[in-house]
């Protein structure tokens, strides 16, 4: 059966076709867009889907499902993978029971992220196989296959996509039959899921054995293909290969040897050695960092390759951000004398290549909230130091003094206070960040008696990604009723001494008075502001 769909739907259908039972994630694009699609399909295919409080929790819930014998999928973006690292560094040792796949969305170009992070770089740290699809059809097949690979090699599998890839539309061939749900028994193997000082080294040794087996599979995997022949070679990684094909057109690749690489860790070294054989010059195209380029040079050295390897490290390919087609043309013009692209792509047309980013923040008057706070502070002859979390506060980035990771505003503010500054410090973040990771920072600030004002912007959900529910909303991912946790009560339980709420129906004078009290309070204070005043 043929179906026209975008890459996110293809990935979701691949997971469904593989018989996934549980899906978790924390809102963030790219990566968790697949969650929204799985929510729509969940009731038809008996899939449990939850928006977890943060990415670490999402992974840990999925690990539990795997131990219980059910296939599980975790959807995250680049910075979310950072949050997962602690349990990942044990999951690599223990392996899995039922298949566990992590869909990782990188954001070359930082279209919706606070950094231009290439998360492939953690592959060597976490020692978990990483695959990257080239096409929409590839994404479907790779996701469907990944759960079986996870069980066969007793390891989690990471599928890495990029924002531009996630918005591609193409036709895929759907498998006629959805795989039966994996129904393994709850695993009760002694010490299998208990890494500790007595067995960690032995587990690490077994991990390396599993990776060797996976590497042997990767040598002949259909996700890596070599086409053409010639003394000039191009290694293109994942979706960048599609961009290369667009640039080359139908005939330009006739005298080139091209490796389309989809298995990124561990690398298929024998296949790469065969690709190097006969080449005098290699160009590496990838996003974002020279991750494969560095490894290719090591393999080339082992093989005694005498040619040159060009790429980001040599300045032939743009390093930072998304790799656009016009930049690939520029690299090829240097690499191949008299190169003529099959289709012209110009730098001035770059905007047409950029992925579409939905502006979920437009409805939120953060400028008005910040203006109100700054006006009150000005009346008190105070110029506060303002720190915020990522998200919709990017709308007022030009008025912030600092902004780091989600949940970090409170802890950074506490550090500034403990450094002995006399200035008033105000930390801004949303209700989703509160449950994500701000609570431990609030506990820390309370315990260490920090003097600052916390302003929690109550968006009634994760604002910057489309209002996905939080534990403070009162509904789950499907809109069904769920316990509604009281944020002010939690803050008081964490030791915050001054806790006030500014509701939408308060007058301007009343809002100013609450903010004035919060700024003047000596100690840890929190004001929860309902952001949508107009409602």
85-108 average pLDDT score: 96
Domain extents for the chain?
A: 2-218, 225-353, 360-530
CATH class of 360-530: alpha beta
Percentage of the chain exceeding pLDDT 70: 99
Beta bridge partners of residue 101, listed in sequence order:
73, 157
In which residue are the tokens 């309070």 written? 521
Largest CA distance in the chain: 78
CA 167 to chain centre: 15
| pLDDT digits 0-9 by tens, 427-448 | 999 999 999 999 999 999 999 9
Q: What percent of the chain has pLDDT over 90?
A: 79
For residue 533, the model assigns a pLDDT of: 41
- pLDDT for the residue 403: 92
The burial of 139, by beta-carbon neighbours within 10 Å (0-12 exposed, 13-18 middle, 19 or more buried), is given as: buried
- Closest listed residue to residue 384, CA positions, set 344, 423, 437: 423
CA gyration radius, the chain: 25
Q: Alpha helices of 436-531 — where are they, by DSSP H?
A: 439-447, 487-493, 508-520
- What are 201's two structure tokens? 């080294």
pLDDT score at 252? 66
Give mean pLDDT, residues 149-164: 97
Structure token digits, residue 436: 């994500």
Task: Return the structure tokens found at 458.
Answer: 């109550």
Per-residue pLDDT reduced to its tens digit, 179-213: 777 778 999 888 999 999 999 999 999 999 999 99
| pLDDT confidence band for 356 (50 / 70 / 90) | confident
DSSP H or E run through 334: helix 325-335
Q: Which CATH class is domain 2-218?
A: alpha beta
CB 6 within 8 A of CB 133: no
Average pLDDT taken over every residue of the chain: 93
pLDDT of residue 251: 65
Sheet holding 22-25, edge to edge: 48-51, 22-25, 72-77, 100-106, 157-162, 130-131, 263-265
User: What's the confidence (pLDDT) of residue 343?
Assistant: 85
Q: What is the mean pLDDT of residues 413-428?
A: 94
pLDDT digits (tens, 9 = 90+) for 261-307: 999 999 999 999 999 999 999 999 999 999 999 999 999 999 999 99
Written in H, E and C, the secondary structure of 257-301 is EEEEECEEECCCHHHHHHHHCCCCEEEEECCCCCHHHHHHHHHHH
Report the first-to-last Cα separation within the chain, whole angstroms: 47
DSSP of 132-146, one letter per residue? --SSHHHHHHHHHHH
Q: Answer whether 395's CB lies under 8 Å from 366's CB.
A: yes
pLDDT at 534: 43
Strands annotated E in 111-163: 130-131, 157-162
Distance CA 289, CA 284 (A): 11
pLDDT of residue 350: 82
Number of residues that make up the chain: 535
Query: What integer is the mean pLDDT of 41-63?
Result: 96
- How far apart, in whole angstroms, are the C-alpha atoms of residue 459 and residue 465? 11
Cβ count near 474 (within 10 Å): 13
Read out DSSP for 197-264? TTTHHHHHHHHHHHHHHHHHHHTT-TT-EEE--SSEEEEEETTHHHHHHHHHTTTTTTTEEEEEE-EE
Q: What pLDDT is attached to residue 532?
A: 61
Stretch (H or E) spanning 77:
strand 72-77
Record the tokens describing residue 299, joined without a space.
Answer: 């393999």
Helix (H) or strand (E) holding 13: helix 7-17
pLDDT recorded at residue 535 = 37
Q: What pTM did the predictor assign?
A: 0.94
Residue 396 in contact with residue 367, Cβ under 8 Å?
A: yes
The single residue listed with the structure tokens 């030791």 is 495
Place of tokens 């992974």: 59
How far apart are alpha carbons 220 and 443 in whole angstroms? 52
How confident is the model at residue 463, as a pLDDT?
84
Residue 118: both structure tokens together: 């290439």
225-353: CATH architecture: 3-Layer(aba) Sandwich (3.40)
Q: Do domains 225-353 and 360-530 have the same CATH topology?
A: yes
DSSP, collapsed to helix, strand or coil, labels residue 459 as: coil
């Amino acid at each position: 059966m043929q179906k026209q769909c975008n890459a996110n739907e293809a990935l979701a259908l691949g997971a469904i076709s593989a018989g996934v039972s549980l899906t978790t994630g924390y809102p963030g694009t790219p990566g968790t867009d697949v969650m929204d699609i799985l929510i729509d399909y969940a009731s038809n295919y008996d899939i449990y889907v939850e928006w977890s409080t943060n990415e670490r929790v999402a992974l840990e819930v999925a690990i539990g499902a795997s131990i219980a014998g059910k296939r599980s999928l975790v959807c995250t973006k680049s910075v979310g993978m950072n949050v997962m690292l602690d349990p990942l560094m044990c999951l690599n040792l223990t392996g899995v029971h039922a298949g566990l796949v992590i869909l990782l969305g990188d954001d070359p170009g930082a279209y919706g992220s606070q950094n231009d992070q290439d998360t492939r770089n953690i592959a060597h740290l976490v020692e978990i196989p990483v695959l990257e699809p080239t096409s929409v059809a590839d994404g479907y097949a790779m996701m469907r296959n990944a759960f079986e690979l996870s069980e066969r090699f007793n390891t989690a599998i990471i599928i890495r996509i990029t924002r531009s890839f996630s918005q591609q539309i193409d036709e895929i061939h759907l498998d006629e039959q959805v795989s039966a749900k994996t129904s393994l028994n709850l695993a009760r193997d002694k010490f299998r899921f208990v890494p500790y000082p007595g067995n960690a080294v032995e587990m690490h040794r077994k991990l390396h054995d599993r990776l060797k087996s996976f590497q042997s599979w990767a040598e002949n995997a259909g996700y890596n293909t070599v086409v053409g022949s010639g003394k000039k070679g191009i290694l293109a990684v994942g979706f960048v290969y599609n961009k290369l094909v667009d640039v080359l057109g139908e005939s330009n690749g006739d005298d080139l040897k091209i490796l389309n690489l989809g298995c990124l860790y561990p690398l298929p070294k024998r296949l790469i050695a065969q690709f190097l054989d006969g080449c005098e010059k290699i160009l590496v195209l990838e996003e974002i960092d020279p991750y494969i380029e560095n490894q290719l040079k090591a393999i080339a050295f082992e093989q005694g390759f005498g040619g040159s390897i060009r790429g980001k490290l040599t300045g032939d390919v743009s390093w930072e951000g998304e790799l656009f087609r016009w930049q690939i043309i520029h690299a090829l013009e240097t690499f191949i004398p008299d190169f003529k692209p099959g289709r012209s792509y110009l730098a001035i047309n770059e905007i047409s290549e950029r992925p579409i980013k939905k502006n979920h923040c437009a409805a939120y008057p953060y400028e008005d909230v910040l203006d109100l706070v700054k006006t009150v502070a000005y009346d008190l002859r105070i110029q506060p130091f303002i720190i915020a979390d990522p998200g919709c506060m990017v709308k007022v980035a030009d008025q912030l003094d600092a902004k780091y990771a989600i949940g970090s505003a409170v802890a950074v503010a506490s550090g500034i206070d403990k450094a002995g500054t006399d200035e008033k410090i105000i930390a801004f973040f949303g209700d989703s960040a509160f449950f994500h990771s701000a609570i431990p920072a609030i506990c820390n600030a309370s315990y260490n008696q920090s003097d600052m004002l916390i302003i929690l912007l109550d968006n009634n959900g994760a604002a910057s990604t489309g209002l996905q529910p939080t534990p403070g909303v009162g509904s789950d991912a499907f809109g069904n009723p769920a316990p509604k946790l009281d944020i002010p009560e939690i803050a008081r339980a964490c030791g915050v001494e001054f806790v006030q709420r500014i509701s939408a129906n308060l007058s301007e004078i009343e809002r100013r008075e609450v903010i004035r009290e919060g700024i003047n309070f000596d100690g840890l204070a929190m004001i929860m502001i309902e952001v949508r005043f107009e409602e």
